[in-house]
Amino acid sequence: MSNEKTYPMTEAGKRKLEEELEYLITEKRKEVVERIKVARSFGDLSENSEYDSAKEDQAFVEGRISTLESMIRNAVIINEDESNNGTVSLGKTVTFVEIVDGKASDFEETYTIVGSAEADPLEGLISNDSPIAKGLIGKEVNATVKIQTPGGEMDVRILTIK
């Protein structure tokens, strides 16, 4: 069991996964079982699309429950206060600007670097495995960093680390 993958995450990220797990077990699982029961009442299962759909949902829900249980069991909590040495690390929120032709853009970007289990770029949470996070980790305020992204190379200047 020591070969299982660990999942770095914040305490809030772990709580969010625990809430999703609780919902899936207490509500969603029951809904899917009820759908299967209703679909069975329609008769012949070989041509019953409602039954097939409900069984597919059941497989998805059970798979997600298993995944969440593993992620929670193997969570490694990031203590944001532990690494307060002025460099970018897991749990830190970083604000930077892109440098284009030697000049800083007016558009600031802010992301919190989290483990892949709780990454949500639309909410400003980027995975420590992402190209941007990999480029920023270990750097300090005012550092100019060259980051390789799928869209090409970009230069950024770190403004703040919190």
Q: Find out whether 84 and 96 touch, Cβ atoms under 8 Å.
A: no
Tens of pLDDT, residues 11-51: 888 999 999 999 999 999 999 999 999 888 877 777 778 88
Determine the average pLDDT of the residues in 93-98.
Answer: 94
Tell which CATH classification among 1.10.287.180, 1.10.1740.10, 3.30.365.10, 2.60.120.340 matches the domain 7-77. 1.10.287.180
* pLDDT reported for residue 82: 53
Tell which CATH classification among 3.30.465.10, 3.10.50.30, 3.90.180.10, 3.40.50.300 matches the domain 87-161. 3.10.50.30
* pLDDT reported for residue 65: 96
Tens of pLDDT, residues 128-161: 889 999 999 999 999 999 998 888 899 999 999 9
The residues spanned by each domain of the chain are: 7-77, 87-161
Q: What is the model's pTM?
A: 0.71
Kindly write down the DSSP assignment for every residue of 12-72, as one continuous string.
HHHHHHHHHHHHIIIIIHHHHHHHHHHHHTTS-GGG-HHHHHHHHHHHHHHHHHHHHHHHH
* C-alpha span between 141 and 159 (Å, rounded): 6
In this structure, which amino acid lies at residue 91?
A: G
* pLDDT reported for residue 69: 95
Q: Residue 138 belongs to what H/E stretch?
A: none
Determine the average pLDDT of the residues in 61-88.
Answer: 84
Tens of pLDDT, residues 104-115: 888 999 999 998
Determine the average pLDDT of the residues in 49-71.
Answer: 93
